[in-house]
Structure 1
Amino acid sequence: MAQPRPDRGEEQLTDRRVRLDAETIVDAVLQLARDEPQSRFTFKRLGEALGVDATAMYRHFRNRDAILRAALDRLFSMALSEGTSGDSPTGWRPRLERYLTSLVDVFIKYPSIGCEAFATDTFGQGELRTIEFVLSCLSDAGLSDDRLVHYYAALESYTLGHGSGIAQEVLAKPNSNGHEPWLQAVAVASVSGFPLIEEHRHRLLSLDSLNTFSAGLSAILDSAEREGTR
């Protein structure tokens, strides 16, 4: 006697279980990070999203931190791909500027993952490729040895720190998208007795998280450019 065929839902569930792998799990983490940016992902929630039992995740990742590192490593790869694809500039400075800006943009797009960037090493190929890329750009700028590593450290710590901070801001204020005013206190406080703040008040009020990041990035690159051409 022929056995009844499973309904379509059962077929899809079985098929998804068979094809579950590390890449599929990371895909689901990033999808949740976009769709539910204020939620902390759990194995249970991932299982629900993938249509599998939560324990299936343990066959590919030891714990939540391992998944987080893999997802963050994917963000590094995405930023490098976006920053170097298509009409990518040829000079060391615009290449570097474009990649680092892309990295912050990716953190904003996936804030619950990006907010972990400053305090998390991924130990993955994506992060290693980005480190190599930054070092290569700085080498093209004419920097070498200790000074090359000095500027690498300055750029990476600044970008990761500022980028993860903006991601935290987006988690708290989902519609800000990096444009939260930088100095809100100046807008409401009396600045009498602070002549420079009073003089530049309108300029200070025009600052937001992203243009403040750009200003700091430009300052570091200006310094690297000067030193590299000596």
Structure 2
Amino acid sequence: MKAAFELAQRDGAAGLTMRRLGEELKVDATTLYRLFRDRDELLLAVHDHATAVELEEIGEVPDSEHWQDTLRRIADRIWATAVRSPAIAALTFARTTGGPAERRMVELILETFARSGLSREATVRYYRVFADATLGLAGQVAVLATLAPEIQAKDAASWTRIHAHLPDPSIRRPAPRSRS
């Protein structure tokens, strides 16, 4: 996993092939097919490895830590993974690995929301919102980071060129008072 992770970081997700990984490990690529059915299964395993690294970085959650602080640390680690491994994150942020690290992360987030005092039903809903928002934002930064620098600059400039001249959105304006 470590070699596959490093290969994807160095050469991008397109560089993560069974042949290239075999070359890195100095083994025949057919050996890897005994471990992984195909490249997609390898990619999901790499993503689960990245989640395991996130869990290591989060470490133990002290009983005294406020549940919101735990969620912030989880979100920070997911974001950090997207920034340091954009090629992997861009391809996998919306995927389900089913691996052991992903299961541990899901349990950690659910346990964290449960510490807030939410009902079981609300815990599941808030988990989903947290996961979708965190992974979606991390995925967005990862996808943008995989673009060529000139495309990134063009995209950043378009925000200033297009959106800076638009009027304030109506959400910022106070609603008119009704006359009762």
Normalised by the shorter chain, which TM-score bucket? 0.7 to 0.9
Which amino acid counterpart does residue 161 of structure 1 have in structure 2? G
Aligned-residue Cα RMSD (Å) equals 3.1
CA gap 1:58/1:38 in 2 versus in 1, 3 angstroms: closer
Partner of 1:156: 131
- Tell me the distance in 2 between the aligned counterparts of 1:145 and 1:35: 42
- Secondary structure of 2:16's aligned partner: coil
Change (3 A) 1:183 1:76: same
Superposition map of 1:57-76 within 5 A: 57-76=32-51
Aligned position for 1:114: 89
Task: Please give the alpha-carbon distance, in whole angstroms, between the structure 2 residues aligned to 1:79 and 1:126.
Answer: 9
Match of residue 223 from structure 1: none
Deviation of 1:32 after TM superposition, in Å, equals 0.9
Task: Output the CA distance in 2 between the equivalents of 1:96 and 1:29.
Answer: 29
TM-score of the two chains, using structure 2 as the length reference: 0.81
In structure 1, give the amino acid aligned to 2:100: Q
Instruction: Give distance in 1, aligned partners of 2:2 and 2:147.
Output: 24
| Residue 133 in structure 1 maps to residue 105 in structure 2 | no
* Residue 189 (structure 1) aligned with residue 134 (structure 2): no
Which of structures 1 and 2 has the bigger CA Rg? 1
Q: Distance in 2 between matches of 1:121 and 1:91?
A: 28
Choose which of 61, 66, 71 in structure 2 pairs with 1:96: 71
Identity %: 29
How far 1:88 moved relative to its partner? Answer: 10
Secondary structure in structure 1 of the residue aligned to 2:168: helix
Supply the distance in 1 between the matched residues of 2:107 and 2:163 (Cα, whole angstroms): 48
Structure 2 unmatched ranges of 5 or more: 173-180
Shift of 1:116: 2.4
CA drift of 1:181 comes to 10
**AA of the residue aligned to 1:187:** T
Specify the alignment match of 1:78 in structure 2: 53
Whole-angstrom distance in 2 between the partners of 1:65 and 1:32: 15
Alpha-carbon distance in structure 2 between the residues aligned to 1:166 and 1:190:
19
- The runs of at least 4 consecutive aligned structure 1 residues that moved more than 3 Å come to 85-89, 179-184, 189-192
Q: Which one has more relative contact order, counting CA pairs under 8 Å at least 6 apart?
A: 2
